[in-house]
Amino acid sequence: MTETTTATDEGEGRPRITVLGAGPAGIAAAYALTKGDVAVEVLERAPVAGGNSTSFKIDDIWCDYGSHRFHPVADPSVIADVKRLLGDDLLLQPRHGRIRLGGRWIHFPLKLQDALLKLPPAFAASLIGDMVLKKFRKKSTGPRSFSSVLYDGLGPTISENFYFPYVRKLWGLDPDKLAVTLAERRVSGSSIGKILGKMLKMVPGLRGETTGRFYYPRQGFGQISRAMVAAAEKQGAAFRFGADIVRIERSKDRVTGVVTRNGDTEEFHQADQVFSTIPLTAAVRLMDPAPPPEVVMAADAIRFRGMILVYLILETDQFTEYDAHYFPELSIPISRMSEPKNYNSATEPKGRTILCAELPCDPGEKWWGMSDEELGRHYCDWLGQLGLPVKVPVIRTETRRIAHAYPVYDLDYQRHFETVDNWLSSLGGFLSFGRQGLFAHDNTHHAFAMAYAASESLTPEGGIDRARWAEHRHEFESHRVED
Ligand SMILES: Cc1cc2nc3c(=O)[nH]c(=O)nc-3n(C[C@H](O)[C@H](O)[C@H](O)COP(=O)(O)OP(=O)(O)OC[C@H]3O[C@@H](n4cnc5c(N)ncnc54)[C@H](O)[C@@H]3O)c2cc1C
């Protein structure tokens, strides 16, 4: 049985927008749209908002899906909204992490004095050699890839000891099988000189108010999403959680609405515009009628990298003073470890802390099916190998699995993405954006900025100003990922 009951009925005469997904992009779209005279309904499969940026409590400690920080480089309008929504609950915290380089712990973000004192002398000499000899270094020949761009820009020492093993671990592919886009989006220091410049900005007296700092809410990163949902609801947005989208219906080249299922009942959500922030591959699969075969094949060829978050619950107040540890070496399968209590400087609960490990891994890989206990045992072994032995009682291990952690920019991704993107963009009544919707390796503040841009591109009649949207798409290309 299919019923037609939606926000549409309440939206008499107003543009009716159905938003797919209540991650940061979907929430921010609802928030921005409902500032105007628009009827908005958000459909989310999960029981809560926030997507990969949500938070949840384990043993009374707020935890995120891996290390999440709100970066001060965000667009000022985005920062202003987040500050207003969270008030005193938004903390400005100093970044205090460590990275393993050449077998030693170096402060991260890099600090000049720390790097000079702690880097092994041979490693430091090699880095300086790379910088001095850059002009004379033979440039890579053949097709450009992540590895050739990094090698030419940064030289062999930092490429081979940090970036290459780190990306191999994160994406499960060798750096020469990864596209240049990854270097453009992810590597903020494209030469040793630029990295040194960033380190100089960290020197006390030279640094700005937010240099080397990050925003973080008292009640976990997900508090940002929760606050924005509350504000959007107050403005009239309707959020439907546990809404399983089973079809996106279209008539020829126009999307007409979305069907969700709850038990035996299907519900048709009619819309003037569907704003989709779910993975673009899922949007293609849900289209009814199905897209042309070449679009379906292109969507099938697009890959997302998954991740297991392993939470080790320990009987102690604090394990280390650091917020995050970064592990580039390939001998350890986890890429990063964070201690959630250190993100919001929580001192409660006493006698408990949690270590969250990020284990990049796809469904079907050996780690994916492992029990929590087994993963916990491996985790303790890895920490022992890294010189961080767990000497306090382990209470238990919990895990969470996310299938769409990172877009995989392999050497062929661009043409597959363009096939899917061009087809989705040709549809009337449909706009895809957000990290999953545009296959963009972006931060939360970028997802917010995309949502604001989508809202701004809506015409008073409920159409999309495509020229304006094209300008925004061009702006999105300048987004750079912050770690
Ligand atoms: C390990 C890790 C660390 C990160 N650290 C940071 C950080 O420090 N700072 C930062 O700014 N960003 C960070 N990010 C990125 C951040 O998580 C994302 O940029 C942000 O969550 C993207 O928001 P989004 O709404 O575009 O997508 P998502 O958060 O993925 O939300 C998409 C939503 O769509 C829903 N959905 C999917 N399919 C369906 C369906 N068929 N039906 C209904 N709903 C559906 C999902 O349930 C989800 O709620 C990190 C990401 C990862 C993986």
Query: What sections of 366-411 are H helices per DSSP?
Result: 372-385
Token reading at 228: 């924005």
Which one, of 192, 187, 196, 239, lies nearest residue 23 by Cα?
239
Residue type, 431: L
CB of 46 closer than 6 A to ligand 1?
Answer: yes
Between these two residues, 191 and 349, which has the higher pLDDT value? 349
Other beta carbons less than 10 A from residue 50's beta carbon: 28
CB of 443 closer than 6 A to ligand 1?
Answer: yes
Which one, of 63, 58, 87, 82, lies nearest residue 72 by Cα?
82
Q: Cα–Cα distance between 14 and 2 in angstroms, integer? A: 24
**Most ligand 1 atoms within 8 A of CB, residue of 31, 42, 53, 362 to mutate:** 53
Q: Going by CA atoms, what residue is nearest to atom 35 of ligand 1? A: 21
Distance 197 CA to ligand 1 centre (A): 31
E runs forming strands in 50-206: 55-58, 61-64, 90-94, 97-101, 104-108
CB of 444 closer than 6 A to ligand 1?
Answer: yes
Beta sheet of 353-360, edge-to-edge order: 104-108, 97-101, 324-326, 336-338, 353-360, 304-314, 394-407
Residue with tokens 């093993």: 165
Q: Cα–Cα distance between 435 and 406 in angstroms, integer? A: 9
Other beta carbons less than 10 A from residue 330's beta carbon: 11
State yes or no: cis peptide before 349, omega within 30 of 0: yes
Q: Cα–Cα distance between 19 and 23 in angstroms, integer? A: 10
CB of 361 closer than 6 A to ligand 1?
Answer: no
The pLDDT value recorded for residue 254 is: 97
The pLDDT value recorded for residue 451 is: 98
pLDDT digits 0-9 by tens, 130-142: 878 877 777 777 7
Domains along the chain with CATH numbers: 2-48+222-302+411-476 (3.50.50.60), 97-201 (1.10.3110), 305-407 (3.90.660.10)
The pLDDT value recorded for residue 205 is: 61
- 30-45 burial by CB neighbour count: b if 16+ within 10 A, else e? bbbbbeeebbbbbbbb
CB of 419 closer than 6 A to ligand 1?
Answer: no
Asked if residue 149 lies in contact with residue 183, where contact means CB atoms within 8 angstroms, the answer is yes
Question: Over 90: is that where the pLDDT of 53 sits?
Answer: yes
Asked if residue 282 lies in contact with residue 246, where contact means CB atoms within 8 angstroms, the answer is no
Between these two residues, 157 and 376, which has the higher pLDDT value? 376
The minimum-distance atom of ligand 1 relative to the CA of 46 is: 47
The pLDDT value recorded for residue 7 is: 42
Strands 104-108 and 97-101: antiparallel
Distance 464 CA to ligand 1 centre (A): 24
The pLDDT value recorded for residue 207 is: 65
Token reading at 202: 């960290």
The minimum-distance atom of ligand 1 relative to the CA of 336 is: 1
Q: Cα–Cα distance between 359 and 374 in angstroms, integer? A: 14
Query: How many alpha carbons fall within 13 Å on the CB side of residue 82?
Result: 29
Put residue 241 in one of left, alpha, beta given phi > 0 → left and psi -120 to 50 → alpha. Answer: beta
The pLDDT value recorded for residue 445 is: 98
pLDDT digits 0-9 by tens, 423-433: 999 999 999 99
Token reading at 121: 């002398």
pLDDT digits 0-9 by tens, 297-312: 999 999 999 999 999 9
CB of 435 closer than 6 A to ligand 1?
Answer: yes
pLDDT digits 0-9 by tens, 144-171: 888 888 888 888 888 888 889 999 999 9
pLDDT digits 0-9 by tens, 57-92: 999 999 999 999 999 999 999 999 999 999 999 999
Distance 182 CA to ligand 1 centre (A): 18
State yes or no: cis peptide before 333, omega within 30 of 0: no
Q: Grade residue 9 by pLDDT with cuts at 50, 70 and 90.
A: very low
The pLDDT value recorded for residue 210 is: 86
Q: Grade residue 194 by pLDDT with cuts at 50, 70 and 90.
A: low
Share above pLDDT 70 across residues of the chain, in percent, rounded to a whole number? 93
CB of 53 closer than 6 A to ligand 1?
Answer: yes
Q: Cα–Cα distance between 313 and 397 in angstroms, integer? A: 6
Question: Over 60: is that where the pLDDT of 364 sits?
Answer: yes
pLDDT digits 0-9 by tens, 10-42: 556 899 999 999 999 999 999 999 999 999 999
Between these two residues, 452 and 4, which has the higher pLDDT value? 452
Put residue 50 in one of left, alpha, beta given phi > 0 → left and psi -120 to 50 → alpha. Answer: left
Q: Cα–Cα distance between 454 and 275 in angstroms, integer? A: 8
Q: Which residues contact 385 (CB under 8 A, 6 or more apart)?
A: 331, 332
Distance 48 CA to ligand 1 centre (A): 13
Asked if residue 84 lies in contact with residue 339, where contact means CB atoms within 8 angstroms, the answer is no
Greatest CA span in the chain, whole angstroms? 72
